[in-house]
Structure 1
Amino acid sequence: MSTQLSTPVNREAAEALSRSKGEPAWLTALRGQGAELSETLEWPKPEKVRIDRWDLTAVGVHKPQAAIASADELPEAVRNLSGETPAGFVVQRNSGIVFKQLSAELQSKGVIFTDLETAAREHGDLVQQYLFKAVAQDEDKLTALHSAIWNGGVFLYVPKNVEVELPLQALLFADDAEATFAPHILVVADNNSRVTYVDNVSSAFEGAAATLVKQSVVEVIVKPGAHVRFATIHHMSENIIDLSLRRAVVENDGRIEWIVGDLHDGNTLSDTRSLLRGNGSTSDAKVISIGSGKQQMSLTTGAVHVGRSSDSQMVTRAVMKDAATAIINGVTKIEKGATKANGEQTEKVLMLSPKSRGDANPILLIDEDDVTAGHAASVGQVNPEQVYYLMSRGISKREAERLIINGFLAPVVEEIPIEAVQEQLRSLLERKLEA
């Protein structure tokens, strides 16, 4: 039986909250419409994972957050995630933004890096032009509900021909299970611009906490000739249900790189897709995940080719332990007219327990003849011959298995664009594997 199918917000409440925060009229109307749509639409139906059996309405209530003067005031549990942030840094705590900074140099170049709520008030024309354009508000109940309740968030705009050399970073964390935690990230890279964005999505609960649904939507608009690298690491406690949708629209000769670390301890829906609308557009997605306990995970990576000579690469590597379950989908869709397109995908799952489960489902949907496409998928256990070889060199069995697992995950870990974040990811991998 499905449970918790009611809608936790209505149009009147969504619009009232929007007005209380001083949001522009167009955003108030959009939130109201989202609440109304969410009453009639259905939840997403990912392959072989019944997310409608999760407590999807435990979204909490809006709780304003007090600003902090520096990252030193963050809770100790997340303070080390702030890293070195000389270019720009945004922090969301539960329902709101508590800290933000951007270097004077980038401000002088016209770069905007702030929370999305502020951007909607101060750069309304720009935000309205792109908000819910990569992700349709009426796609399903999740997107409609998110459009009504999203809070805080991040807005990044890079003007034409501007190259941002240092990564811009965000820390999004929850430490109150009663507060809505629904960040929306909107990135717009104008013609021939370059930028790297990295965020940490974390939690800092003390002891047992009630169930909380964290729903986030990422929209990336890549204009002609622009290049965006988007890296994200999710590592929240098991009381949080992580619902994350990521979409990019890539125009002529644009490029999007996704680097996703799904190291969350609770149930997870992670969906990352690129629409290669322009000729010569490219997408490169790398996803890494570790499942433990009784986690249920749905991990989807996709690319839709519309432009000619477009190219997509997708790599997903997952390690499953205990009684965790992961359904891993790779979807390459080449539309009619996308001549000379190329799409390659690889899904690999390593299972460390007889009770764990990992399904790898590579899917190719081709409507054009003059293209190339391929896929590879594998599901298995640690190779005993490799373990034996390492043990013959004086390495213990436990250490041999650890080295093999790290080697299995290394191709994704090494793609993280910031050394400090890369080290953090390695530390999180060790934590989940040793737990």
Structure 2
Amino acid sequence: MTTLNAALPVGRDSLQALSKNRQEPAWLTELRLKALDLAGTLDLPKLEKTRIDRWNIDSYGEYKEINEVESLDDLPAEISGLISQDSTKSGLLIQRNSGVVYTSLSDELKQKGVILTDLETAAREHEDLVKPYLMQAVKMDEHRLAALHAALWCGGLFLYVPKNVTIEDPIQALFLSDDAEALFAPHVLIVADENSSVTYVDNYVSGTSTGAVMHNGIAEVFAKNGAAVRFASIHNFNDQATDVTYRRAVLENDARIEWIIGELNYGDAVSDTNSILRGNGSMSYAKVICVGTDDQRLNITTRATHFGKSSDSDMITRAVMRDEATAIINGITKIEHGATHCNGEQTERILMLSPKARGDANPILLIDEDEVTAGHAASVGQVNKEQVYYLMSRGLTKDEAEKLIIYGFLEPVVTLIPIKAVEEQLKDLVERKLGR
């Protein structure tokens, strides 16, 4: 049933004035206004066994101008320690609340035609590369939150990798929310042209500011024929933030996407990571971990939709739940009619550390073609007592044994982070969330 006249965080006139003040092109202003009109008529996303309408999803705040920083030494402590030396040699973008405050790209990559800038600037200066893709992987009419994002997104990142260009060192982005009254809704748009290759890593972090925050984020990746994109993302918002993130990749012939996702938030979170395997021979590999604590509510979904022949997907999700946290873990493989000789595999495993924690693993195969292979596995359980006993018999304490088992459980994702500093951060965040 459609929800009419839903309360919106901004009026039409205010949004139009804001877009004009930011000197946005007419096509973008029109897109924002159309999306805002849609948002008032659309329902919230329908999530498996999750009542998102009971969450705090209205604390958007207002758009606030923010000054750029001239030196990395001027950055807040929350993010300064996350910057990789490799990214300073290739490309780095930093957003704080409503705007991007720092961007750098190496001269070598500029000469090759690589573009790294905030999405607002890209919309003005590179319309031919932005307009055909913005809100095309995730459509604004899918649900109210998608429409609101299309209307309100701010700052954001645009990365373009030209044909036949390989970027050796990772491109890094840091997104910091430390003002509860500021709008925080970055949009990430990556376009990898034919036979290009790039690794992209981002962090989403809360500061010390108190107050409810709604992060409504979208990431879109377009990989052309033969392109390879590695996309790693770690989310670490505090317990006052609600995090809703939709990631989607569209893959052409022989293109490849690798997702590496760490959901280490302390508040309620929705994470939906989706690969559209449009081209023949396209490939998608997704590895996701999440750790739930206190009374968190998590809805983590990983999807692969096969259209191309001989396309291949594999999804692995590992969740650790403690205290009274609740997680709905969904894996959805959809094989469309005509996608012959493709393969879709998925595994969801949840480890329970408390009798009051709840985990629900839902492996789903939707197959409309006969000449395919597909499989799934799912499990929900506690730390294996026999494994603990064995390790204790080798001289470890019970706490050390359980810790070793938990890290072994999460290891398939943690060790794949392509930036050493970010990998160490992820390990530290896991330790903190597990209270060990």
For the superposition of Structure 1 and Structure 2, which TM-score range results when normalised by the shorter chain? over 0.9
Q: Which residue of 1 aligns with 2:116?
A: 113
> Is the partner of 1:9 in helix, strand or coil?
coil
Deviates more, 1:285-294 or 1:420-429: 420-429
- Counterpart amino acid of 2:93? V
Match of 1:138 among 131, 141, 146: 141
Partner Cα distance (1:55, 1:414) in 2: 33
Superposition CA RMSD, Å: 1.2
Match of 2:191 among 188, 191, 194: 188
> Is the partner of 1:264 in helix, strand or coil?
coil
Q: Which residue of 1 aligns with 2:83?
A: 82
Partner Cα distance (1:57, 1:16) in 2: 22
Paired residues for 1:375-394 under 5 Å: 375-394=376-395
Asked if 1:31 corresponds to 2:32, the answer is: yes
Deviation at 1:5, TM superposition (A): 5.5
Paired residues for 1:93-108 under 5 Å: 93-108=96-111
Q: Deviations over 1:32-58 (max 9, x none)?
A: 111110000011011001011112111
Q: Which residue of 2 aligns with 1:251?
A: 252
Asked whether the 8 Å contact 1:11–1:33 carries over to 2, the reply is no
Partner Cα distance (1:55, 1:375) in 2: 34
Asked whether the 8 Å contact 1:5–1:57 carries over to 2, the reply is no
Q: Deviations over 1:40-92 (max 9, x none)?
A: 00110110010111121110000111110122111112210122221010000
Deviation at 1:415, TM superposition (A): 1.2
Q: Which residue of 2 aligns with 1:362?
A: 363
Runs of 4+ in 1 over 3 A off after TM superposition: none
Asked if 1:174 corresponds to 2:177, the answer is: yes
Percent of paired sites with the same residue: 60
Deviation at 1:347, TM superposition (A): 0.1
> Is the partner of 1:415 in helix, strand or coil?
coil
> Is the partner of 2:434 in helix, strand or coil?
helix
Partner Cα distance (2:160, 2:231) in 1: 14
Q: Which residue of 2 aligns with 1:408?
A: 409
Paired residues for 1:17-416 under 5 Å: 17-84=18-85, 85=87, 86-206=89-209, 209-416=210-417
- Counterpart amino acid of 1:187? I
Q: Deviations over 1:351-386 (max 9, x none)?
A: 000010010000000000000000000000000001
> Is the partner of 1:300 in helix, strand or coil?
strand
Asked whether the 8 Å contact 1:343–1:374 carries over to 2, the reply is yes
| TM-score, normalised relative to structure 1 | 0.98
Asked whether the 8 Å contact 2:78–2:205 carries over to 1, the reply is no
Deviation at 1:221, TM superposition (A): 0.1
Partner Cα distance (2:166, 2:117) in 1: 18
Partner Cα distance (2:236, 2:269) in 1: 11
Q: 1:214 to 1:81 in 2, by over 3 A?
A: same
- Counterpart amino acid of 2:230? R
- Counterpart amino acid of 2:106? S
Deviation at 1:129, TM superposition (A): 1.1
Q: Flag structure 1 segments of 5+ consecutive residues without an equivalent.
A: none
Partner Cα distance (1:77, 1:302) in 2: 32
Deviates more, 1:67-76 or 1:21-30: 67-76
Partner Cα distance (2:12, 2:312) in 1: 42
> Is the partner of 2:147 in helix, strand or coil?
helix
Asked whether the 8 Å contact 1:11–1:31 carries over to 2, the reply is no
Partner Cα distance (2:257, 2:78) in 1: 32
Counting matched residue pairs gives: 431
Partner Cα distance (2:429, 2:406) in 1: 14
- Counterpart amino acid of 2:221? V
Asked whether the 8 Å contact 1:10–1:32 carries over to 2, the reply is no
Partner Cα distance (2:66, 2:135) in 1: 25
Deviation at 1:10, TM superposition (A): 2.9
Partner Cα distance (2:195, 2:218) in 1: 25
> Is the partner of 2:327 in helix, strand or coil?
strand
